[in-house]
Amino acid sequence: MAQVIIDTGNHIAGFACKAARAQVVAAYPITPQSPVVEQIADLIEKGQMDAKYIRVESEHSAMAACIGAAVGGARAFTATSAHGLALMHEMLHWASASRLPIVMAVVNRAMGPPWNVWADFSDSLSQRDTGWIQFYCASNQEIFDTIIQAYKLCEDKRVFLPAMVCFEGYVLSHTSMPVKIPDQKDIDDFLPPYNPPWLLDVENPITHGNIVYPDWYMEFRYFMQEAMENAKRLIPEIDKEYGKKFGFEYGGHVERYRCEDAEHILLTMGTMGSEAKVTVDRLREKGLKVGAARLRVFRPFPKEEIQNLARNVRMLTIVDRQISYGMEGPLLTEVKASLYGEEETPLTAGFIAGLGGRDVTFMDLEMMINRSLKWLKAGRVEKEVEWIGLRK
Amino acid sequence: MVKEPKSMRDLPITPLSCPTVASMGKTGSWRTFRPVIDSTKCTHCLLCWIFCPEGCIERQKDDMPDINYDYCKGCGVCANECRLGAIRMERERE
């Protein structure tokens, strides 16, 4: 029977791993991710979860073990944060280019130095081009739902790519919220066992990932791009199907809030998207036609969805909890790139906020909107990228 | 042998390969030193056969090891392992 429990984002990720019937978990603890793997180790130890837990000496090995498990036909799971994710970098490419549907919880944390363990998206966004699908969550319920959906998506034969399910350190990882855990039988119906296209089998030996010369290499890269496009198409379908079955739906790639008649949209990622709803409600009371949109999927980037969102909008205020040094916030870059060539494009104002776990409140978001509105009135954006809350 | 695909749709989604003899060709040409077995010293213990990292030593009927010079890269592991000094590494000429 479905039940509602109150627990932290980390523990919920562990419960989702169990509900997804992951068979191999190889992970190395790192703040703020540790409770995810402690929870899974605990569930296995108590006999409540039927999986092999592999203790490894680093994140590089954790991902290597997951790759081995997935090649052997097992459903594999791991979790990490920040520097752990960075250490995995080489194996991330290996996992995606081997087309293995591994799912990993990434508890977003700032990169050091200076050492900092708090929320920041620069860890996962640094891994943007590794061929992993990237989801960003705004609640503990969404963490649970997205992990289940991620397996469904990744194991689809049109996709066969791994996915990161990202959520902000402490803001979600250590915050308790009520979460509805569906009946296991219903989850099993939604997510049947993994059916791999090929297996490591001693009777029928193969090696994989061997050398491919320049005359055929590009084709394998093209397959990955195709798989990403397929994933882009499937994400809203799976979200709908899940919503119909379990009651939680997140709008596919982009969750929209009061956007129907909005002239001005505030685009965020992660939990800032929840905060943005408060801002929108307050500004709507003052008569401003403002809406909030929250990007759930950074890769594949929902280009068409962003174009659609920007139609009939005069201003887009884009908030990045990350910075690509020497350029701007990556979300701003990608949104502008998606809109280039459209007939009519809104003005875009980019804001950098909340790095290293600095709180981003509805008041901060309101200030960003007010500043954007001023620029809209003037017909030009005075400062293309503004850092919010930067101390003098 | 590698079969040449006609179209990219003949490819698997990730490169997979089946075991084959020497996909890199006859690697014996890489050799600078050649292992030579002295059959008068050899006791057919087969340590060289076990240790050869390339599987280039063939075990004959009487357990006499026979080195396949088409693929032996001359690493010298067999000579190092032989307890009786029955394998000598000789510099290749030409």
A217, A246, A275 — which closes off a domain? A246
Helical pair A34-45 and A9-19, crossing angle rounded to 10 deg: 40
Report d(CA A80, CA A10) in Å as an integer. Answer: 11
ipTM of the complex: 0.82
Tokens at A80, concatenated: 């990490």
Whether residue A241 is found in the same domain as residue A261: no
CB < 8 Å to A207, chain B: 16-17, 19
Ranges of beta strands (E only) in chain A are: 3-8, 24-27, 52-55, 76-80, 103-108, 133-136, 163-168, 176-181, 207-208, 254-257, 264-269, 290-295, 297-299, 315-320, 347-352, 385-387
Q: Are A330 and A125 in contact (CB under 8 A)?
A: yes
Q: Which domain holds residue A274?
A: 255-387
The DSSP secondary-structure symbol of A108 reads E
The pLDDT tens digits of the residues spanning A76-113 come to 999 999 999 999 999 999 999 999 999 999 999 999 99
**Contact at CB, B8 and A216, closer than 8 angstroms:** yes
Residues in chain B within 8 Å Cβ distance of A209: 14-15
Residue B1, pLDDT score: 42
| Residue A207: band (very low, low, confident or very high) from pLDDT cuts 50, 70, 90 | confident
Distance CA A74, CA A22 (A): 8
Query: Residue A224 domain-assigned?
Result: yes
| A219 confidence band (pLDDT: 50, 70, 90) | very high
Q: Are residues A191 and A148 in the same domain?
A: yes
Cβ-proximal residues to A351 (8 Å cutoff; 6+ apart), any chain: A317, A318, A319, A320, A329, A368, A385, A386, A387, A388
The DSSP bridge pattern shows strands A24-27 and A52-55 to be parallel
| Full-model pTM | 0.90
Mean pLDDT along residues A15-39: 98
Sorted by where each starts, the structural domains of chain B and their CATH numbers stand as 27-91 (3.30.70.20)
Same domain for A316 and A354? yes
Work out the minimum CA distance from B38 to partner chain A, whole angstroms: 36
Residues A363 and A308 in one domain: yes
Q: How far is B11 from chain A (nearest CA, A)?
A: 8
**Which residues fall within 8 angstroms of residue B64, CB to CB, at 6 or more apart?**
B39, B42, B44
Q: Which of A246, A269, A289 is the last residue of a domain?
A: A246
